[in-house]
Amino acid sequence: MATKDDRTVLERLREFVMMEGSAPHMLVEALDDLDHHYRSFDLRWSADVLAIARWRQAAPGRELTWPDHADLVVWLLSVWPGSSPRSAPGGR
């Protein structure tokens, strides 16, 4: 009976490359960069989902709407305590 492998494709590739023992340095660096990008994306995605949930809570009826990222940032700045559009960096 096969067991479920919870490793990502990236983890499997890294294991295979390291198993070979003579992985080119550039390939190892590329895998490290790719891993960094995956982790960065996951962090950003989690933060965006949390912000969107708060945006939806603030105005019922938005349950099926995803805001444009710029609109979401402007909204978050507007609800931040002590913040106003003029006090934000680049505000007019």
Could you read off the pLDDT of 21-38 as tens digits, one per residue?
656 777 777 788 888 888
Give the whole-angstrom CA distance, residue 54 versus residue 48: 10
pLDDT at 24: 73
pLDDT at 16: 73
Given phi > 0 = left and psi -120 to 50 = alpha, else beta, which region is 87?
alpha
Pick the more confident residue, 73 or 2: 73
Pick the more confident residue, 28 or 54: 54
